[in-house]
Amino acid sequence: MESTNDKIIDLLKKHLGNTKFGMIIVSNIKKRLKIGDKKFKQEMPFGKYEKKDVSEELEDALIYLLSMENFKRADSFKKKIINMLSGLELTEREDRNG
C-alpha cells in the first residue's frame, strides 16, 4: 500500500515535472515530511485538511514575508500569497452559497 507521504510526493512530481527546480522542491518537501513524521509520530494525514487550514498557513507565510527586511522579491511573493488567499476565499463563498 502506498504511504501518504508517497502520495504527496507523487502529486508534487506530477505538478512540477522533472525540472531541476522541481527536483529541488521535491527534495525539500521530502525532508519536511520526514521532520513532520518524527515530530507528530505519524505521516501527514491525507485528506484531513480543509481550505481554512491552507488559508491559515498562507497567512502565516504572509506574516513571515512582511517581517523580512532586505528581501528584494518580497513584494512579488506577497502579491502571490494574497492572490491565493483571495482565491481560497472566493471558493469558500461559492461552497457556502451552493
Domain boundaries, the chain: 4-40, 51-97
CB atoms within 10 A of CB 97: 6
- pLDDT tens, residue by residue, 17-45: 888 999 999 999 999 999 999 999 999 88
What is the distance between the alpha carbons of residues 39 and 57, in angstroms, rounded to a whole number?
Answer: 18
- pLDDT tens, residue by residue, 61-98: 989 888 888 888 888 888 999 999 998 887 777 777 76
Sign of CA dihedral 15, 35, 51, 2: positive
What is the distance between the alpha carbons of residues 64 and 3, in angstroms, rounded to a whole number?
Answer: 31
Residue-wise over 55-80: b if at least 16 C-beta within 10 A, else e?
Answer: eeebeebbeebeeeeeeeeeeeebee
